[in-house]
């Protein structure tokens, strides 16, 4: 690239580029790439004043320091654990996110995964393809009358509660900042994390990832879960200790797990796996092994961080991100992440 951009977008699709190009005329020199920021080794970041990224970009301190003019990071996601917020704060960089865009799309996806697990959809499809159908092995579980435990009751977790009510489920929730109006609106009961794990037939995670809730579902909490329970994660992979999850699934205690996110997510790119083979063994090597085991388990569903991905949700993300940038340029920033 010959000219340094003032506004740079990473991890973009053709639709992103078309949308932002049309909407941001005369707002600055625009740069677009489908690559994550750490993978684009040719771009000159020195003149970037506004940066927009998605979840695959690892915006670490080294990369931030390559952008001395950076004033705004507009992440096109709700979570921001892939941004070094400490370094951003030190350099007086504002971070804006897209809160709440996935309240329905992620909640619906979580229930799609749950239903697929409980009704053994994937084994059933595989049996149809093979022609060897055995209904005894496809006996599923009803959701009606079951207890669902929701970890995190923001906009997504709240919508999960609404859907659960439609299925006739009992709803428990854990949140360090409970929204007590939900207790009446959704017939929901807040409990401790330990009690939620002990009493729930299904546990679904909808919390942001922070240092405080790293491995919030660890071996101790997994040990408290009911025999035959299901675990769903469409939030962040680091919320679950994947090594401990492998162990409890292998023991037969849990009936199944469905993960749209997982630790070491980036290693599912083939080039990352090749790099692991040629380099020294590190934590990513363990993640790769754990995820390989999970992928082979018949009662586990892995999906490619796709819960957010609907036409309606993508357009909403684009609109909110554009508005975040415009409001910042007008000296009235919105959706600012507290760091």
Q: Which residue among the candidates 54, 76, 159, 305 is catalytic per the annotation?
A: 305
Query: To which residue do tokens 């085991």 refer?
Result: 293
Known catalytic residue: 265? yes
Q: Which residue among the candidates 11, 238, 265, 290 is catalytic per the annotation?
A: 265
Backbone angles phi, psi at 4, to 5 degrees: -70, 135
For residue 245, how many other CB atoms are within 10 A of its CB? 25
* Sequence-ordered list of residues with C-beta below 8 angstroms from that of 19, at least 6 positions apart, any chain: 318, 322
Burial (0-12, 13-18, 19+ Cβ within 10 Å), 332: exposed
Distance CA 172, CA 187 (A): 9
Check: CB of residue 101 under 8 Å from CB of residue 317. Answer: yes
Q: How many helices (H) and strands (E) does the chain have?
A: 13, 12
Known catalytic residue: 180? no
Known catalytic residue: 76? no
Q: Which residue among the candidates 236, 238, 263, 290 is catalytic per the annotation?
A: 236
By annotation, the residues acting in catalysis are 236, 265, 305
């Amino acid at each position: 690239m010959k000219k340094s951009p003032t506004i740079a977008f990473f991890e973009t699709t053709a639709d992103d580029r078309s949308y932002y190009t049309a909407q941001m005329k005369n707002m600055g020199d625009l740069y677009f790439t489908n690559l994550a920021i750490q993978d684009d080794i040719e771009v000159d970041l020195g003149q970037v004043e506004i940066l927009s990224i998605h979840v695959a970009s690892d915006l670490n301190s080294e990369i931030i320091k390559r952008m001395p003019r950076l004033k705004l990071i507009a992440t096109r996601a709700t979570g921001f654990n892939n941004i070094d917020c400490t370094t951003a704060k030190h350099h007086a960089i504002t971070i804006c996110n897209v809160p709440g865009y996935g309240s329905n799309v992620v909640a619906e996806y979580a229930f799609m995964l749950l239903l697929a697990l409980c009704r053994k959809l994937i084994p059933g499809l595989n049996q149809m393809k093979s022609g060897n159908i055995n209904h005894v092995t496809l006996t599923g579980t009803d959701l009606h009358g079951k207890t669902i435990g929701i970890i995190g009751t923001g906009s997504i977790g709240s919508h999960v509660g609404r859907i659960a009510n439609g299925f006739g489920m009992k709803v428990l929730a854990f949140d360090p900042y409970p929204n007590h109006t939900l207790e009446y609106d959704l017939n929901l009961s807040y409990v401790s994390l330990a009690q939620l794990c002990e009493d729930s037939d299904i546990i679904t995670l909808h919390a942001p990832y922070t240092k405080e809730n790293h491995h919030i579902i660890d071996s101790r909490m997994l040990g408290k879960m009911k025999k035959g329970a299901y675990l769903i994660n469409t939030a962040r992979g680091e919320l679950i200790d994947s090594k401990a999850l492998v162990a409890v699934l292998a023991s037969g205690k849990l009936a199944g797990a469905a993960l749209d996110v997982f630790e070491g997510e980036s290693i599912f790119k083939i080039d990352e796996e090749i790099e692991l083979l040629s380099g020294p063994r590190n934590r990513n090597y363990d993640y790769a092994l754990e995820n390989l085991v999970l992928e082979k388990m018949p009662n586990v569903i892995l999906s490619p961080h796709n819960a957010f991905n609907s036409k309606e949700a993508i357009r909403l993300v684009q609109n909110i991100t554009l508005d975040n940038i415009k409001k910042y340029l007008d000296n009235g920033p919105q959706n600012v992440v507290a760091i």
